[in-house]
Amino acid sequence: MNTNDAKEYLARREIPLLFESLLNGLMCSKPEDPVEYLESCLQKVKELGGCDKVKWDTFVSPEKKTLPPLNGGQSRRSFLRSESDTDLSETAELIEEYEVFDPTRPRPKIILVIGGPGSGKGTQSLKIAERYGFQYISVGELLRKKIHSASSNRKWSLIAKIITTGELAPQETTITEIKQKLMQIPDEEGIVIDGFPRDVAQALSFEDQICTPDLVVFLACANQRLKERLLRRAEQQGRPDDNLKATQRRLMNFKQNAAPLVKYFQEKGLIMTFDADRDEDEVFYDISVAVDSKLFPNKEAAAGSGDTDPSMMLDTGEVIDTGSDYEDQGDDQSNVFGEDTTGGVMEDLRKYKIIFMIGGPGSGKGTQCKKLVEKYGFTHLSTGELLRNELLSDSERSRLIRDVMERGDLVPSGIILELLREAMVTSLGHTQGFLVNGYPREVKQGEEFGRRIGDPHLVICMDCSADTMTSRLLQRSQSGRGTDSTATIAKRLEAYYRAAIPVIAYYEKKTQLHKINAEGTPEEVFLQLCTAVDSIF
């Protein structure tokens, strides 16, 4: 069956009108069990004698029948052919029948920008469009302009009410408006679409009727931060959909739809996730690096803020730099939707003890971590090891890391956090806690970890002199377990102290820091560590 046959079948059987009636009933009734409600409606259709007996308000209770029908009560066929309805033109009918983009010409690159209300989608979308010379489309603005210009139209009056209460505009209407806009700009190199899709159904419809996007940018933002931004925007801009009731409804809709939508794009390898709690310029720097890598692999690295992280020194002596807080998609549970949008996983994670182990190269972190794991049943996580393992995989994220490193750029620290989160989630139910070795490397990483996962219960600092660490590393090299020279050791220690001093000061103020004298024998040091760990149980 081709597309035209399918459309003809749907129109002939009055299926669109049936769905409209069911949707009107759901919106007005808001049943606790929508499946049971729909079953009862379909049974009523049979009793009435079929779809052609159904009207737009068949399932609307009498006291709510003051609402107008979604499309004026017409059948699907007459709805498409109507000449009297001001928002339905010949163009609207044409885009039902023809491709949006000319198949004989290169299709523009499509970037979709999604996130919760108040996550900064509009700001970042405009920045992307300006940097790459793309056309910017705000779906919310498209709908608001249409509502304003067709305010006397019954359909758009109803849509205005729907949006003002925080609900999503009808999917077909939204897609139609996007298609009309796209057909007006056929010669663009790329297009950034802000605020679409809002759920999986819209994503499927977009791909079916328009195209598969080249990239989906997801702006992850904590729920409380979204509320604060929306209320502030309401005061400054006075948008009708930023009222308190609508804000609560929009946040609830986002919470319900975000996880399955992101998972859908994850499975297609299209989505990249960014922490939008930060300064907008920091967020945009990370987005630029990712867009360059994904869509313009031969383009020079994005010029962004110079606020980068210090070098991340691995125990092997290898240097892997970390930079701005970009977060890639990862697995199903790894995305940042805010504190309460991951199905309880983050809440479960916070029930486990988390210990940070800080210390310079040669301080004995690795040896002591093994002993603590054996005694307490902790899961040992090394950020360096997690990065090396990721680079061995063939994931989209590993390719991004490799590309960034090959360009000489800094591997974003958000990737480190994401790798940690994934490893921790994987161990839930099979561990007594988490012992994180060599993290955080700077204060901003610690703050980010605390905001996204939770503050550590204990931070251990392996206090060891530079002379002792140098001596141990040289002995390791002489025994064939390392390749460090005196010069490279000095550089590693300098980098460690430069990064560690502010981190140690930060956790001293939070009274979570325990300094351990790491100059003694492994047994003596371990006894001190056990005393510190026992204090948090």
User: Is residue 255 a contact partner of residue 337, using CB atoms and an 8 Å limit?
Assistant: yes
Question: Amino acid identity, residue 9?
Answer: Y
Q: Does a structural domain hold residue 69? A: yes
Cα-Cα-Cα-Cα dihedral sign, residues 341, 506, 413, 529: negative
Same domain, 349 and 393: yes
Same domain, 202 and 238: yes
Q: Does a structural domain hold residue 98? A: no
Give the residue carrying structure tokens 């090394």.
382
What's residue 499's pLDDT? 84
Same domain, 521 and 408: yes
What's residue 336's pLDDT? 37
What's residue 3's pLDDT? 60
Q: Does a structural domain hold residue 397? A: yes
Same domain, 122 and 258: yes
Name residues whose C-beta falls within 8 Å of residue 242's C-beta, 6 or more positions apart in sequence. Answer: 230, 231, 233, 234
Q: Does a structural domain hold residue 323? A: no
Domain end among 82, 115, 140: 82
User: Which residues of the chain register pLDDT less than 70?
Assistant: 1-5, 7-8, 11, 62-98, 147-169, 223, 225, 227, 229-250, 298-346, 405-411, 481-483
What's residue 73's pLDDT? 42
Annotate 172-199 with three-state secondary structure.
Answer: HHHHHHHHHHHHCCCCCCEEEEECCCCC
Q: Does a structural domain hold residue 92? A: no
Report in angstroms the alpha-carbon separations of 517 from 100, 255, 315, 378: 68, 47, 19, 22
Q: Domain holding 481: CATH number? A: 3.40.50.300
Same domain, 294 and 400: no
Same domain, 137 and 286: yes
Beta strand pairing call for 190-194 and 135-138: parallel
Among 418, 331, 431, CA closest to 383: 418
Q: Does a structural domain hold residue 141? A: yes
Same domain, 170 and 261: yes
User: Is residue 114 a contact partner of residue 197, using CB atoms and an 8 Å limit?
Assistant: yes
Q: Does a structural domain hold residue 192? A: yes
What's residue 31's pLDDT? 87
Q: Does a structural domain hold residue 454? A: yes
Same domain, 255 and 377: no
Same domain, 494 and 364: yes
506-515 b/e with 16+ CB inside 10 Å = b? bbeeeebbbe
pTM: 0.43
What domain count does the chain have?
A: 3
User: Is residue 436 a contact partner of residue 381, using CB atoms and an 8 Å limit?
Assistant: yes
What's residue 110's pLDDT? 94
Beta strand pairing call for 353-359 and 458-463: parallel
Range of 62's domain?
A: 1-82
Same domain, 165 and 295: yes
Q: Euclidean distance between the first and final Cα of the chain, in Å? A: 65
What's residue 16's pLDDT? 79
Q: What is the pLDDT of residues 395-425, one digit of tens each?
A: 777 877 777 766 666 667 778 888 888 888 8
Same domain, 346 and 250: no
What's residue 301's pLDDT? 42
What's residue 217's pLDDT? 93
Domain end among 259, 282, 307: 307
Same domain, 373 and 517: yes
Other beta carbons within 10 angstroms of residue 13's beta carbon come to 14
